[in-house]
Chain A
């Protein structure tokens, strides 16, 4: 390796370290500032809680054996809704791609559903399906499914024209074209739809938990609000932020693995 190449690599590594350090610094400064402002009573501890209070709340939750149950409940709902959302989205997008006429017919309805604020349907869902996990998952599905369908379908539609023609010249069947060409060339979009879908799923699940209120992080937040324990509310929010970040990162890792050659 030449000296220039070494220097170049070093520069990249240095930049990466700089970025990570700055990010850590921002978090630490933010937490410290928060703690101090509350301790100096510049902002209200009752409303804004504080990092130390949040840690205490977590410890309390753990010692009451409540902590993992809530996280587990929310995670379970998120994962089920996510997997259902992307697989149904994928299947429906495939059907729409194969039957273009159907796609044209239902296009305005999809658009309408997409822009409808799904939370408005919440009360209806609970009346129909009861105040239980099922309602939460349906709530989340309503929110994530439309986005998954639309993104994946658009990905399919963007398949390179020349490659489609190539498959036509080789007399490929519809199924072959789908399996060997349309789906693989949409990997990128499919992964992007995962990213959108996970964000939407979290919104749906938390919304569902707000409405159903039995267990989970959404429940923690609602409960905290009802008993005016805002430490609990803040703890819920922080936990959510951490969980959504981790889920997102997992998808990015999957993306790196799948898209190595593209």
Chain B
């Protein structure tokens, strides 16, 4: 078994004054090294909850277990870029390194490389307010990648962007994820994004989320998102995901 992470019988309830909210119900999931997994499901079904549990962010009780190596490095990227406006682009990019005391040459060189890759080198000393939405999201991505994580959790990372920036940035992201053979869990509302990014799409039901189906995506041509979208099986995948999502509504 070369599972990076094993999620076993995971059940999570939130407790609020108004009552109990069942968010996850008996989730079982194996993530292997190099997997790019997409999570799709109706809004509010518990996708972010699942990511928080995997990333160890939730200190409250839950049932079941997330089995992983203790020194597995997990990095998390949110829907909002959450850049700090009082820091320059460069300072924002190395924020995670600063917090985790990793300002070594190796990591900083990697940040330089990433800035170069995303064409942000000229903006290093600028402040976030002078950047477009897509560029800010790239900086947020660099801040996440800079930590050289073994597992990358992306929670609707592109959903705040307009369609055009979204296509451009997902292309960039896909390239770098493939190039560095990253393991990724991507939460998305876009079926298209789910298919073009991943080798596995997990469809969750509405709350409390159970796994509705796991769809393996086998696309041979792996170079770019653009080519993946042209695959002959694309529509077949689309239909089956749509069907599984759709039955939830009724």
Whether the pair A168, B99 counts as a contact (CB closer than 8 A) is no
Selected from A160, A168, A180, A187, the residue in CB contact (under 8 A) with B95 is A180
Selected from A166, A176, A187, the residue in CB contact (under 8 A) with B82 is A166
Question: B82 contacts which chain A residues (CB < 8 A)?
Answer: 160, 162-163, 165-166
Q: Report how many residues on chain A are interfacial, defined by Cβ distance under 8 Å.
A: 19
Q: How large is the interface on B (under 10, 10 to 19, 20 to 34, 35 or more residues)?
A: 10 to 19
Whether the pair B78, A162 counts as a contact (CB closer than 8 A) is yes
A167–B92 Cα gap in the complex (Å)? 12
Whether the pair B85, A170 counts as a contact (CB closer than 8 A) is no
* Contact count A vs B, C-beta below 8 Å: 44
Q: Which chain B residues (129-180) contact chain A, with CB distance < 8 Å?
A: 129, 147
Whether the pair A162, B80 counts as a contact (CB closer than 8 A) is yes
A186–chain B nearest beta-carbon distance, Å: 11
A165–B82 Cα gap in the complex (Å)? 9
Question: A261 contacts which chain B residues (CB < 8 A)?
Answer: 85-86, 127, 129
A158–chain B nearest beta-carbon distance, Å: 14
What residue of chain A has the Cβ atom nearest to residue B153's Cβ?
A169
Whether the pair B78, A166 counts as a contact (CB closer than 8 A) is yes
Q: A162-B82, A169-B76 are in contact. List 9 more A-B contacts (CB 8 A).
A: A160-B82, A163-B82, A166-B82, A170-B100, A176-B99, A180-B84, A180-B98, A185-B86, A261-B85
Residue contacts A-B, CB under 8 angstroms, 30 given = A160-B82, A162-B78, A162-B80, A162-B82, A163-B82, A163-B84, A165-B57, A165-B78, A166-B78, A168-B57, A169-B55, A169-B76, A170-B95, A170-B96, A170-B99, A170-B147, A171-B100, A176-B99, A180-B95, A180-B98, A180-B99, A181-B84, A184-B84, A185-B84, A185-B86, A261-B85, A261-B86, A261-B127, A262-B85, A262-B86
